[in-house]
Amino acid sequence: MRSLCGNMFKSIYLFDEDVAKTLYIGDRKSNIMYRFYEKNKEQAKKSGQLLEEIGNWNRTEIELHDEVAQGFILRLAGGQEGLAQLAFDFLGSNLKFIIPNENQKNKSRWKTCRFWKRFLGDVKELKLHIDYHVTSLYDTQVWLKSGGGLSAFRLFRFLKKHEALGKLEDIEKLMENSTYNGELRTKAVAHLMQINREDLIPLIYAETGKVGQLA
């Protein structure tokens, strides 16, 4: 679950100062992205109407891709919940705005912001069935074994052990400076959701250092 608080937003963009603000949470290359924006101010700018005439109007959008999108659609097609309830359950299960507490180092114990509780209302935990066999970490594992990736790694360690790297770089140092690319990150998130280890997803995003980094 993504946990954020006010001073941690790193992707707030102002289309026009004091007119319309849009908050992006996530990465377009990942399988989940959120957008929150002030629709009333956007419409006021386009139509020339006063904000008082339009009223309070903020829009929330959830953008899903790949396995997560498929899991969401399959759940919707099952007819257990309507689209609105399903969307709120998804938000409540995957995104959380929290209040910083300097006396509590464990952020999972920080209280949820009141505005987020009011916005979500009565929601329940949502578990999506995700079939990710086509592009999964298992496929990556097969590639490592059959494609020679592990053999190459073993060879580099052998050369280092016998001080025969020459101009080649130390494979251990290469690993320390490497990060997960978007495709691998997506596979990792899908894998963790499949085995109910969502608690590790923030660490995956922290490793990549992408926009929407988790707390």
3-state secondary structure the chain: CEEECHHHCCCEEEEECCCEEEEEEECCCCCEEEEEEEHHHHHHHHHCCCHHHHCCCEEEEEEECHHHHHHHHHHHHCCCCCHHHHHHHHHHHHEEEECCCCCCCCHHHCCECHHHHHHHCCCCCCCCCCCCCCCCHHHHHHHHHHCCHHHHHHHHHHHHHCCCCCCCCCHHHHHHCCCCCHHHHHHHHHHHHHCCCHHHHHHHHHHHCCCCCCC
Verify that 71 and 44 share a domain, yes or no.
yes
Q: How many domains would you assign to the chain?
A: 2
Asked which of 11-15, 113-117, 161-165, 195-199 is least confident by mean pLDDT, the reply is 11-15
Q: Are residues 46 and 74 in the same domain?
A: yes
Residue 108, domain extent: 2-131+180-208
46 and 10 in a single domain? The answer is yes
pLDDT digits (tens, 9 = 90+) for 40-87: 877 777 787 777 777 778 888 888 887 788 888 888 888 778 899 999
pLDDT at 182: 73
- Taking the complete model, does pTM exceed 0.75, yes or no? no
pLDDT digits (tens, 9 = 90+) for 139-191: 778 778 776 788 888 888 899 999 999 988 888 888 877 777 777 887 888 88
| Residues 169 and 186 occupy one common structural domain | no
Instruction: Determine the pLDDT at residue 125.
Output: 86
